Amino acid sequence: MGWKKCLVAFVLMVVFVLIYCFITSLPAYAHIEGEYLKNGIFSVFMIKAGIFTYSVKEKASFGINSSIVKIINKSDYIILLYKADDPSIKSCRVYKFIPSSLIKGDWDLVGESYVEKMTTENEAIKHIQDFPKPLFSYLHRIEDKGIKNYVITPSISIARELLKDHPDDPYVQVIYLDALMRSEKWDELAEKNARWSSNIENNPNPIIAHTTCLIAQAVEYNRLAKESQNAYAFLMGEPGERQVINEALLEKIYQAKGSVSPVSLPSMGIGATPIPSFPSVQVAAKVILTDAVFAMIKGDNARALHLLVLDYRLSQILCGHTFMISNLFGIAVKAITCGGMELYMANACRTPEEVKEFFDTLTRLREVDTSLHWDDFKYMEGIGANPEFATDSVGANLSETSTRWNISETKPRLLLAGAAARYHFLTTGKFPGSPEQFAPLLPHGLPQDLFTTTTLRLISGKDSFVVYSVGPDAKDDAASLVYDPTNGTVSAGDIFLEIPQKPHYPFPPKGQLATKKEDILKQFPNNLPPDIFHNTKGAPLSITDTVPAKIISFGPDTDSARVKNGAGLLPLDPPYDPTNGDISNGDLILDTAQP
């Protein structure tokens, strides 16, 4: 009977081999189960490490903010489908992960998409676009439910327990830094940030690695706040109260020792920092600019330049915020201010000394600039603001934002070059025709053009001088076509500044402004400078027929339509008062009779 036992054993072995071959021939799934925290920055709990599974099971779990995350396992990656619990909301985000190539148990984010109207899951998955490179360890494995507890209810006690159990994990160290910041334990925060900086900064996840920079900013924010010297805190005002942005506030901001915006950690995926109202800052910048133009008309160059400095400083404060939207506010304010600076430098500066003062003032402003370059804040809002991991779905506006930043930075470079050219003209009677002739203000020649690998370009003529950038399309139009962003951020045209031999707006010296309309127009044969609040772009400031005459801007309510066929300017609205509201009734009025 021994041969029968051998036969049975042989048959069983063959069956086992066949079953094994069948199983191993099945697709190998990157299987994952657990709870998916908000945006997946920190952890997937209780990951079951089985590599092989016989079936694809779709796992649904409830995350923070009552959102559903559906886990869809594929042969070599997983999909997390993240949507609101409300069935009326059809949009969803879809994330694609692969097992981490650097840290075992972690998951690298390799693709993402946003679908406004999801029809089927397969349709949503089709929209996924892969990143140029993985975002390593976007899902980090920490098998500790204290992570979830901290995200739901952040507290220093939970963070301490986590740190006790995971002292060397950089993600837990970030949690503890976040807890210290929330608890306002600033001394310990600074000490721990310095001690852990190497461990955190060497993490393969760049959003985690950038945390130490943000923590240092938080510490500095607290230091300046204690000294009542934080310009950004002045701009924001008291929580819950409407802040009036006027000349007095901007003066206070200008005198402050520093400007640091409050911080939240994108690596935590929780928290928020306040940002100012765009209408408030935009209107304030335009009002200050109008007051600066009034000062130029009165011949008070010192006041005009100082007001322009206050406006420029406001743009720097906004561009120093860690949120992209505030940077965009700052870019808009800088564009407004640079227009006023061009008017001042090309028209109000009559002597080489005044031109040099303008040049030195703008140079000093740029040397103490607190604004962030595009590369500086790309990790400050997490993946959504990062061009390195952008897809069309989440990053279509990133290139545009970067281009806008370059445009805004081009304008002060043109102003410096234009000032150097005007200085050369006022001292020699000729515009510069070569890089060497921009000395002494620009001894190394023209600044770099941000849209090419060369410097800004010049056209030097007998009656005027033009310095220009080729603009976002990188095509040299020889300043024959004006770049206009309303045609598209990346559109045809050059960005240029023209310095005429004779000022287009010959502002009279201080104390010599006429008081009658006809005499004012004789002093300004090309009419007055534009009213930035006029409904018609480029329309000049208005002049009343009264004696003494008043020069009028229609103010933030932009009610220039009240003037029809030359009538309707009078009676004037009351003087604009921002305490009545940013966009409230009222004109900006210059009385020609007042010194």
Confidence band of 26 (pLDDT split at 50, 70, 90): very low
**Three-state DSSP class for 238?**
coil
User: pLDDT tens, 513-548?
Assistant: 999 999 999 999 999 999 999 999 999 999 999 999
| Residues 435, 338 within the same domain | yes
Is pLDDT larger for residue 137 or for residue 84? Answer: 137
User: pLDDT tens, 435-491?
Assistant: 889 999 999 999 999 999 999 999 988 789 999 999 999 999 999 999 998 888 889
| Over residues 176-188, mean pLDDT | 92
Q: Which residues on adjacent β-strands are paired with residue 569?
A: none
Asked which of 277-286, 290-299, 366-375 is least confident by mean pLDDT, the reply is 366-375
**Rounded distance, CA 120 to CA 129, Å?**
17
**Rounded distance, CA 419 to CA 573, Å?**
38
| Over residues 392-415, mean pLDDT | 75
**Rounded distance, CA 249 to CA 492, Å?**
39
| Residues 205, 100 within the same domain | no
pLDDT exceeds cutoff 50 at 332:
yes
Q: What is the pLDDT of residue 377?
A: 46
Q: Which residues on adjacent β-strands are paired with residue 553?
A: 588
Domain count, the chain: 4
| Residues 519, 492 within the same domain | no
Kindly state whether residue 6 falls inside one of the protein's structural domains.
no
What single letter denotes the amino acid at residue 315? S
Q: What percent of the chain has pLDDT over 70?
A: 78
pLDDT exceeds cutoff 70 at 105:
yes
pLDDT exceeds cutoff 80 at 323:
no
Is pLDDT larger for residue 100 or for residue 4? Answer: 100
Q: Which residues on adjacent β-strands are paired with residue 460?
A: 465
| Residues 266, 291 within the same domain | no
Angle at Cα 114 formed by Cα 488 and Cα 27, nearest 5°?
A: 135
Q: What is the pLDDT of residue 82?
A: 65
Question: What's the Rg (C-alpha) of the chain?
Answer: 31
| Residues 196, 119 within the same domain | no
| Residues 165, 259 within the same domain | yes
Q: Which residues on adjacent β-strands are paired with residue 575?
A: 587
Contact indicator for 352, 359 with CB cutoff of 8 Å? no
Kindly state whether residue 508 falls inside one of the protein's structural domains.
no
**Three-state DSSP class for 488?**
coil
- Domain residues for 169? 150-274
- Residue carrying the six token digits 């992960």: 97
Q: What is the pLDDT of residue 54?
A: 19
> How many Cα atoms occupy the beta-carbon half-sphere of 48 within 13 Å?
10
Domain boundary among 441, 468, 500: 500
pLDDT exceeds cutoff 80 at 145:
no
Average pLDDT, the chain: 80
**Rounded distance, CA 35 to CA 240, Å?**
36
| Residues 282, 411 within the same domain | yes
Q: Write out the E strands in 357-494.
A: 457-460, 464-469
Q: Write out the E strands in 1-156.
A: 59-62, 67-73, 78-84, 92-99, 107-115, 129-139
Kindly state whether residue 301 falls inside one of the protein's structural domains.
no
Q: What is the pLDDT of residue 572?
A: 85
> How many Cα atoms occupy the beta-carbon half-sphere of 238 within 13 Å?
1
Q: What is the pLDDT of residue 278?
A: 85
Q: Which two tokens stand for residue 563?
A: 């003037």
User: pLDDT tens, 421-440?
Assistant: 999 999 999 999 888 899 99
Kindly state whether residue 581 falls inside one of the protein's structural domains.
yes
Kindly state whether residue 8 falls inside one of the protein's structural domains.
no
Kindly state whether residue 98 falls inside one of the protein's structural domains.
yes
| Residues 133, 218 within the same domain | no
**Rounded distance, CA 128 to CA 74, Å?**
14
> How many Cα atoms occupy the beta-carbon half-sphere of 228 within 13 Å?
2
**Three-state DSSP class for 277?**
coil
Q: What is the pLDDT of residue 397?
A: 52
**Rounded distance, CA 82 to CA 60, Å?**
10
Most confident of 166-180, 213-227, 348-362: 348-362
Is pLDDT larger for residue 518 or for residue 99? Answer: 518
| Residues 112, 236 within the same domain | no
Confidence band of 259 (pLDDT split at 50, 70, 90): confident
Kindly state whether residue 183 falls inside one of the protein's structural domains.
yes
User: pLDDT tens, 202-258?
Assistant: 988 887 888 888 888 889 888 988 899 988 888 888 777 778 899 999 999 999 888
What distance lies between CA 476 and its chain's CA centroid? 28
Contact indicator for 331, 404 with CB cutoff of 8 Å? yes
| Residues 399, 256 within the same domain | no
Q: What is the pLDDT of residue 507?
A: 97
Q: What percent of the chain has pLDDT over 90?
A: 45
pLDDT exceeds cutoff 70 at 121:
yes
Q: What is the pLDDT of residue 35?
A: 40
| Residues 268, 282 within the same domain | no
pLDDT exceeds cutoff 80 at 143:
no
Q: How far is CA 138 from each of CA 131, 267, 269, 279, rounded to the nearest angstrom? A: 13, 9, 12, 37
User: pLDDT tens, 356-390?
Assistant: 999 999 999 988 765 544 444 444 444 444 545 44
**Looking at residue 94, what DSSP letter applies?**
E
| Over residues 126-131, mean pLDDT | 82
> How many Cα atoms occupy the beta-carbon half-sphere of 27 within 13 Å?
10
Domain boundary among 116, 139, 162: 139
Domain boundary among 139, 170, 188: 139
Kindly state whether residue 144 falls inside one of the protein's structural domains.
no
| Residues 67, 178 within the same domain | no
**Rounded distance, CA 289 to CA 342, Å?**
12
Contact indicator for 351, 358 with CB cutoff of 8 Å? no
